[in-house]
A = this chain, B = another copy of it.
Amino acid sequence: MNIEIISIGDELLIGQTINTNASWMGEKLFEIGTTVNWVTTVGDDHDLLIKTLEIAEQRADVILLTGGLGPTHDDVTKKAVCSFLKSELVVDQVVLEHVKKMFRERGIKMVKVNEEQAMVPDKAKVINNPVGTAPAMFFEKDGKKFFVMPGVPFEMKGIMQESVLPAVKELLNGKVAKKKFIATIGIGESTLFEKIGNIEEVEKYARVAFLPGFSGVKIRLIADGKNSTEADEKLKQADTLIQRNIKEFIYAEKDIPLEEAIVHLLTEKNNTLAVAESCTGGLLASKITNVSGSSQVFLEGVVVYSNQAKVNRLGVPENLINEHGAVSPQVAEKLAEQVRKLSGADFGLATTGIAGPTGGTPEKPVGLVYLGYADKNGAFAKKYMSKLNRLENKERFSYAALDLLRVNLKKV
Residues on A lying within 8 angstroms of B by beta carbon are 10-20, 22-28, 30, 35-45, 48, 51-52, 55, 59, 70-74, 102, 105-109, 111-114, 131, 152, 154, 179, 188-191, 193-194, 199, 207-212, 220, 222, 255, 275, 277, 280-290, 292-295, 298-306, 308-309, 312-313, 342-344, 355-359, 385-392, 394
Contacts and interface: CB of A to CB of B under 8 A. Distances in A.
Name the prevailing secondary structure of the A interface residues.
mixed
Nearest to A255: B16
Q: Find the residue from A25, A70, A309, A390 having the highest chain B CB count within 10 A.
A: A309
Given A37-B42, A40-B39, A209 B299 contact: no
Contacts of A385: 105-107
Given A285-B281, A288-B281, A303-B302, A18 B23 contact: yes
Contact of A290 (B154, B301, B394): B394
Contacts of A359: 295
Nearest to A9: B209
A289 B305 contact: yes
Given A111-B190, A209-B11, A281 B289 contact: yes
Contacts of A59: 51
Nearest to A51: B59
Contacts of A131: 388-389
A19 B16 contact: no
Given A23-B19, A188-B108, A301 B292 contact: no
Contact of A18 (B20, B51, B280, B290): B20
Contacts of A109: 191
Contacts of A212: 70, 152
Given A71-B190, A106-B387, 9 more contacts: A13-B30, A14-B179, A17-B211, A19-B23, A70-B212, A74-B208, A74-B210, A290-B394, A301-B303
A20 B285 CA distance: 27
Contacts of A43: 35, 37
A298 B277 CA distance: 13
A12 B23 contact: yes
